[in-house]
Amino acid sequence: MNLTLFHFYSDQLNLYGDRGNVIALKKRAEWRGITLDVVDVKAASAVDLTKADVLLIGGGPDRLQALCTDDLRGIKGEFKQAIDDGVSALTIGGGYQLLGEYYELPDGKKLQGLGVLDFYTHSPSSGPRERLIGNILLESPRFGRIAGFENHGGRTYHDYETLGDVVAGHGNNGKDKKEGLLYNNLIGTYLHGPVLPKNPALTDFLLEAAWKRKTGNPLPPYEQNELENAANRHLWDVHEKKV
Ligand code: GLN
């Protein structure tokens, strides 16, 4: 049996190689004998979300984020339904922000989100307005050590479970030392880089949830190689000054 990934706006929302997440998902599925079919979604109205096992939305600059949010608005009910039904989803940066109630732009204008989840993102109107940029490391109770790169102006606030605790870097808002959001089988995060090749545990979480939902079975095992974790380990080693 195959899995189907819907990749939204791959040309517009592809900050810092977010598209690389597709390759990671495809490979880790293939190593288990599963084919991941990728549907490149350019217009939300053209797709039937009930056919998707995994959803992926990357990040992008504000202008493109606004255009893509408007396009997605047409299927926000279906999108919410899919997330509530437990479809796997990875949403990054702008793709994460647009799931909330609104994203307040640096000029104070509010870009209405899809309202799939109950949270908001502000851009500071006074005080330090700098973007939150750099490598970022998280300790995640569910996934262990996570590594990535962030670059965002928006500061996100919510009461959901988070992806992890910030060990180095800024995270959701630069204040509460939390990063990302977990809800059902959805991961929202500011981590680019792309995030999945550096974090096989996240890749496998998305695949496992999709596979279980579709077949009722756990992911088939395969012989793991320690090189799969090399990028993650290297970033942590640099942080701990082991290299
Ligand atoms: N445009 C948004 C911001 O600057 C998201 C950027 C991103 O995807 N990292 O906050």
Rg (CA), the chain: 17
For residue 15, the ligand 1 atom closest to its alpha carbon is 8
Question: Which of 188, 181, 144 is CA-nearest to residue 162?
Answer: 181
Q: Which residues line ligand 1 (CB under 6 A)?
A: 15, 59-62, 65, 93-94, 97, 151-154, 190
- Which tens digits make up the pLDDT trace of 45-96? 999 999 999 999 999 999 999 999 999 999 999 999 999 999 999 999 999 9
CATH of the domain at 178: 3.40.50.880
Distance (angstroms) between ligand 1 centre and the Cα of 197 equals 21
Is 28 labelled a binding residue?
no
Q: Diameter of the chain by CA atoms? A: 53
- Which tens digits make up the pLDDT trace of 86-102? 999 999 999 999 999 99
d(CA 132, CA 137): 14
Residue 197 neighbours by CB under 8 Å, 6+ apart: 20, 21, 23, 24, 203, 231
The closest residue, in CA terms, to atom 2 on ligand 1 is: 94
Distance (angstroms) between ligand 1 centre and the Cα of 60 equals 6
d(CA 26, CA 203): 10
d(CA 107, CA 211): 43
Q: Compute the average pLDDT of residues 218-232.
A: 95
For residue 123, the ligand 1 atom closest to its alpha carbon is 10
- Confirm if 121 and 154 have CB atoms less than 8 A apart: yes
pLDDT at 106: 87
Number of domains in the chain: 1
Substitution site in 12, 21, 57, 62 for ligand 1 pocket (most atoms within 8 Å of beta carbon): 62
Boundaries of domain holding 83 = 3-242
- Which tens digits make up the pLDDT trace of 153-204? 999 999 999 999 999 999 999 999 999 999 999 999 999 999 999 999 999 9
Distance (angstroms) between ligand 1 centre and the Cα of 159 equals 20
pLDDT at 239: 97
pLDDT at 156: 98
d(CA 122, CA 89): 23
Distance (angstroms) between ligand 1 centre and the Cα of 99 equals 13
pLDDT at 124: 85
Q: Is the pTM of this model over 0.95?
A: yes
Substitution site in 18, 56, 97, 119 for ligand 1 pocket (most atoms within 8 Å of beta carbon): 97
Reading the block at residue 188, the tokens are 């929202």
Residues serving a catalytic function are 192
- Confirm if 188 and 202 have CB atoms less than 8 A apart: no
| ipTM of the shown complex | 0.97
- Which tens digits make up the pLDDT trace of 98-140? 999 999 998 899 999 999 999 999 998 766 678 999 999 999 9
**b/e burial code for range 19-53 (CB count within 10 A of at least 16 → b):** bbbbebbbbbbeeeebebebeebeebeebebeebb
d(CA 138, CA 47): 35
The closest residue, in CA terms, to atom 5 on ligand 1 is: 94
pLDDT at 125: 72
Each as own residue / partner, the long-range contacts of residues 118-127 (CB below 8 Å, 24 or more positions apart, any chain) are: 118/158, 118/159, 119/156, 119/157, 119/158, 119/159, 119/160, 119/181, 120/156, 120/157, 120/158, 121/97, 121/154, 121/155, 121/156, 121/157, 122/154, 122/155, 122/157, 123/153, 123/154, 123/155, 124/155
